[in-house]
Chains A and B, each alone.
Chain A
Amino acid sequence: MVGMVGLLEGLVLQSGSAGGGTDSAPFADAIGGLLGFGANMGPGETLIAAFIGAFFIGNLMLAMTGVAGPWAKRKITAAFTDRLAVNRVGPFGLLIIVADAVRLLSKELIVPDGVDRPAWDIAPILMAGSALLGFAVIPMGNGIQLADPETGLVYVFAVSSLASLGLVTAGYASNNKYSLLGGLRSVAQNLAYEIPLVLTAASVVLFAGTLQMSEIVAAQTEPLFAIAGIAIPSWYAFVNPFAFVLFLAANLAEVGRNPFDIPEAPTEIVAGYQTEYSSVYFVLMYLGEFLHIFLGGAIIATLFLGGPAGPVLPGIVWFIIKIWAVFLFTQWARSAVPRVRIDQLIEIGWKGMLVLAFANLVLTAIIVGLIA
């Protein structure tokens, strides 16, 4: 125990020097350098360089969602239920991704009677767009981090919670009772688990002493202790496993996966807020949902798993492995855990998770204070 406190002390002292970074946009700088804009780019040049970087990141995430949605999700669920899943089109059924993309985009867009038209159209765009926006400040390794503002962590939470707005808009504007109930359920759920999520992240900030994503990653590079000559890095998942488990659970609720999938609950309210959406709007909602799982994975990787850090392989590969591990976890929960009822959900959120998140925050503050 004493040795552990000593280790934590060393950790706090070394990461204490990490605070006080400055705003920057590393990826935009790198692309600007490639384009020959020089060291001091003007706003226009920055926008061009950043737009190219943003296009790259947007398409990377789209590609990952494309693999995850039509293919990986089916394969994983099939593996859990002892089936084969897609295996006819291309090797391992991989070309189903192309086939499904064309199939879904070429569906007829049916506009139901009495939908609240501008709101009904805005909701899917908001859901897909807000999830994509969060990736702006995530350090993905190899210098791929579009923007690195000092308030990065707060920005991520602010942007990702915009999706709740999309959910309730979709539910309300659809002119459907199931959609309305689904929208209300999803917003109640997101509100209940948002606070434990953010408070748990705050307990990580207590260790790191900064909100800047690159600094949080940098604070996790030092070795925590060594087992048989292999240095275990001071990832916050190892430093504070309790916060890690809390965050994983709250994240499951935020992305609406079992046991917290009552916003959709196919056996109760058809498909919740997305009942009346078809064609490209359905694709956008589906996309937003998967982007949110990946954004949740990216936040978990950055806060608790050392971001892009890892041996041998380049950073971006480790980053993708980590967020796919979180995706696999959500799919595992989806196959293995039964759904909770709405009253249980509210009680777990407000009476369980919130109290535990407060306890975690106060305990972390006391421990950090005692050894600092």
Chain B
Amino acid sequence: MANPWIAVGALALVAIAIPFGMMAVSALLRPTVREQGKSAIYESGEIPTGNTRIRFNIQYYMVALLFVVFDIETVLIFPWTVIYRDAVGSAGLFAALVPMLVFIGVLVIGLAWAWRNGAVRWVKSPRAEQRRREQQQ
């Protein structure tokens, strides 16, 4: 029985070797023509204005925070799913199921709280709201 993680490591080598191989082939084939203006970043054919580090919707951050909570929770659920059927056999349905129901219940209450506080509602910009009001008039 070979160690599976050595095999995974071998695939990791291949997964790095394939992109590098393609890059090497491409480096042999492709031309390099230096030309002014070619390297400008794309902004619909216009000359780029301002900095790239623009302000963006805070909602991306809120969603990422929420994700951290639920991701850790899925990590904690997985061991339970693996032993669940054996646990029902040895400790009974009540003892195997109810603690996890309580755990999921706490999380669902957390989700409901985030939901009520608008963490998963996309905040519209004031300008978009204003434009919508103007269109209605």
8 Å CB interface, B28-53 against A:
29-33, 38-44, 52
* CB <8 Å contact, A16 and B85: yes
* CB <8 Å contact, B122 and A209: no
* CB <8 Å contact, A27 and B84: no
Residues of A within 8 A of B31 (CB): 106, 108
* CB <8 Å contact, A342 and B122: yes
Residues of B within 8 A of A210 (CB): 82
Cα A343 to Cα B104 with chains together (Å):
26
Residues of A within 8 A of B104 (CB): 358, 361-362
* CB <8 Å contact, B78 and A154: yes
* CB <8 Å contact, A110 and B38: yes
Chain B residue, CB-CB nearest to A365: B97
User: Is A255 an interface position by the 8 A CB rule?
Assistant: no
* CB <8 Å contact, B56 and A351: no
Residues of B within 8 A of A365 (CB): 84, 97, 100
Chain A residue, CB-CB nearest to B115: A351
Size range of the chain B interface in the assembly: 35 or more
Residues of B within 8 A of A155 (CB): 8
Cα A220 to Cα B104 with chains together (Å):
28
Cα A306 to Cα B20 with chains together (Å):
35
Chain B CB within 10 Å, residue with most, of A155, A194, A275, A368: A368
Cα A211 to Cα B70 with chains together (Å):
20
* CB <8 Å contact, A23 and B4: yes
Residues of A within 8 A of B9 (CB): 47, 50
Q: Provided the pairs A62-B18, A372-B89 are in contact, do residues A195 and B7 lie with their beta carbons within 8 angstroms?
A: no
Cα A187 to Cα B57 with chains together (Å):
13
B49-65: contact bitstring with A at CB < 8 Å (1 yes, 0 no)? 00010101001100110
* CB <8 Å contact, B30 and A198: no
Q: Which of A27, A130, A176, A279 contacts B7 (CB 8 A)?
A: A27
Residues of A within 8 A of B1 (CB): 22-25, 29
Q: Provided the pairs A112-B39, A199-B77 are in contact, do residues A370 and B10 lie with their beta carbons within 8 angstroms?
A: no
Residues of B within 8 A of A57 (CB): 11, 14
Q: Provided the pairs A62-B18, A154-B78, A372-B85 are in contact, do residues A23 and B7 lie with their beta carbons within 8 angstroms?
A: no
8 Å CB interface, A1-26 against B:
12, 16, 19, 22-25
Cα A199 to Cα B97 with chains together (Å):
16
Residues of B within 8 A of A68 (CB): none
Q: Provided the pairs A54-B7, A108-B33, A284-B22 are in contact, do residues A205 and B82 lie with their beta carbons within 8 angstroms?
A: yes
Taking Cβ atoms with an 8 Å cutoff, the residues of B that contact A are: 1-16, 18-20, 22-23, 25-27, 29-33, 38-44, 52, 54, 56, 59-60, 63-64, 66-67, 70-71, 74, 77-78, 81-86, 88-89, 93, 96-97, 100-101, 104, 107-108, 111, 115, 120-122, 124
User: 25 interchain pairs (CB within 8 A)?
Assistant: A16-B86, A23-B3, A28-B10, A29-B2, A47-B10, A54-B14, A58-B15, A58-B18, A62-B18, A108-B32, A128-B19, A129-B12, A129-B15, A133-B12, A146-B10, A147-B7, A175-B52, A176-B41, A194-B67, A202-B78, A202-B81, A205-B81, A358-B108, A368-B84, A369-B97
Taking Cβ atoms with an 8 Å cutoff, the residues of A that contact B are: 12, 16, 19, 22-25, 27-29, 32, 41, 43, 46-47, 49-51, 53-55, 57-58, 62, 102, 105-114, 124-125, 128-130, 132-133, 135-137, 146-149, 154-155, 174-178, 180-181, 184, 187-188, 191-192, 194-195, 198-199, 202-203, 205-206, 209-211, 270, 275-276, 279-280, 283-284, 342-343, 346-347, 350-351, 354-355, 358, 361-362, 365-366, 368-370, 372
Lowest 6 A-B CB distances belong to which pairs? A343-B122, A147-B4, A280-B26, A50-B10, A50-B7, A350-B120
